[in-house]
């Protein structure tokens, strides 16, 4: 497991997580890093990523570790948006493969509206495809006690 999640030298998000890029970091702690999407699709559009290289939502397990990781990502995103866009409506979620742009798990955090407005198409949930809301994912990987 540790091997699979080790830092990948060619992964752009691993570079950001290890602080070897010029990206401005909005939040960072021992588990996660948050920064602005390079091509924002909304009034505010942040990404929250785990420092560990986890490729996609399909690689998340029903473990206490992954469950608390995703909860922590969502909490960090919510804190940043309520600081920077207190009046807005928010949306949080993940792309499912093959619709993910970068193969390193990242939570999209939006303060709406989308800009331009047609951008919402990129973040639609199409049944089992497309975008998955963070709440739904958290429900899915909740460890059964």
Catalytic residue set: 108
CB 132 within 8 A of CB 92: no
Q: What is the DSSP string of 60-83?
A: --SSHHHHHHHHHHHHHHHHHHHH
Check residue 11 for interaction with Zn ion (CB under 5 A): yes
Check residue 34 for interaction with Zn ion (CB under 5 A): no
Q: Which residues contact 136 (CB under 8 A, 6 or more apart)?
A: none
Q: Which stretch binds Zn ion (CB under 5 A): 56-64, 68-76, 84-92, 104-112?
A: 104-112
**One residue of 16, 95, 107, 110 binding Zn ion per CB under 5 A:** 95
Site for Zn ion in 48-77 (CB under 5 A): 53
- 54 in helix, strand or coil? coil
Write down the least CB distance from residue 121 to Zn ion, Å. 14
Check residue 96 for interaction with Zn ion (CB under 5 A): no
Torsion of CA 55, 57, 60, 64, to 10 degrees: 130
Write down the least CB distance from residue 120 to Zn ion, Å. 14
């Amino acid at each position: 497991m540790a091997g699979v999640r080790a830092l990948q030298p060619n992964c752009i998000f691993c570079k950001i997580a290890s602080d070897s890029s010029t990206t401005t970091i909005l939040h960072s702690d021992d588990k996660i890093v948050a920064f602005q999407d390079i091509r924002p699709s909304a009034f505010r559009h942040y990404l929250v990523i785990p420092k560990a290289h986890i490729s996609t939502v399909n690689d998340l397990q029903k473990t206490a570790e992954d469950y608390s990781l995703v909860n922590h990502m969502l909490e960090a995103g919510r804190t940043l948006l309520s600081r920077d866009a207190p009046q807005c409506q928010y949306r949080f979620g993940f792309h499912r493969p093959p619709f993910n742009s970068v193969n390193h798990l990242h939570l999209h955090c939006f303060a709406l509206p989308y800009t331009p407005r047609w951008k919402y198409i990129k973040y639609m949930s199409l049944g089992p495809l497309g975008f998955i809301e963070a709440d739904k994912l958290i429900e899915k990987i909740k460890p059964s006690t």
